[in-house]
A = this chain, B = another copy of it.
Amino acid sequence: MSVNYLSLCFGYLQALTELPATEPIDKAVQILEGAMQEFLTHGYAATSMDRVAAAAGVSKATVYSHFGDKEGLFEALVKRLAQQKFLHLTTLDCWHEEPRHSLPQLITNALQHVLCDPEHLAFIRLIIGESGRFPKLAQIFVQNLSKPGIELMSQYLAKHPQLNIADPEATARIIIGAVVYFVQIQEMLHGQEIVPMEPERLINAITDLVITHQSPQAASI
> Closest B-chain residue to A166, C-beta based?
B208
Task: Tell which of A11-19, A22-30, A210-218 binds the partner.
Answer: A210-218
Q: Does A21 contact B (CB under 8 A)?
A: no
Q: Does A116 contact B (CB under 8 A)?
A: no
Q: Please state if B171 and A209 are interface contacts (CB–CB under 8 Å).
A: yes
Task: Tell which of A57-65, A88-96, A178-186 binds the partner.
Answer: A178-186
Give, as a whole number of angstroms, the nearest-CB distance from A32 to chain B: 20
Q: Please state if A191 and B142 are interface contacts (CB–CB under 8 Å).
A: yes
Q: Please state if B127 and A189 are interface contacts (CB–CB under 8 Å).
A: yes
Q: Does A129 contact B (CB under 8 A)?
A: yes
Q: Decide yes or no: A194 and B147 within 8 Å by CB, A142-B189, A181-B181 being known contacts.
A: yes
SS class, residues of chain A in contact with chain B: helix
Give, as a whole number of angstroms, the nearest-CB distance from A44 to chain B: 8
Q: Please state if B138 and A190 are interface contacts (CB–CB under 8 Å).
A: yes
> Closest B-chain residue to A203, C-beta based?
B170
Contact partners of A143 in chain B: CB under 8 A = 194
Q: Please state if B197 and A169 are interface contacts (CB–CB under 8 Å).
A: yes
Encode A106-147 as 1/0 by CB contact (under 8 A) with B: 000000000000000010011111111101001101110011
Give, as a whole number of angstroms, the nearest-CB distance from A209 to chain B: 5
Encode A185-204 as 1/0 by CB contact (under 8 A) with B: 10011110011010001101
Q: Please state if B181 and A139 are interface contacts (CB–CB under 8 Å).
A: no
Q: Decide yes or no: A181 and B182 within 8 Å by CB, A126-B129, A190-B135, A213-B212 being known contacts.
A: no
Q: Which of A129, A185, A189 has the most CB of B within 10 A?
A: A189
Q: Does A51 contact B (CB under 8 A)?
A: no
Contact partners of A152 in chain B: CB under 8 A = none
Q: Does A49 contact B (CB under 8 A)?
A: no
Contact partners of A142 in chain B: CB under 8 A = 185, 189-191, 194-195
- With beta carbons under 8 angstroms apart, the residue of B46, B188, B215 that contacts A128 is B188
A-side interface residues toward B, CB under 8 Å?
Answer: 41-46, 122, 125-133, 135, 138-139, 141-143, 146-147, 150, 166-167, 169-171, 173-174, 176-182, 184-185, 188-191, 194-195, 197, 201-202, 204-206, 208-216, 218-219
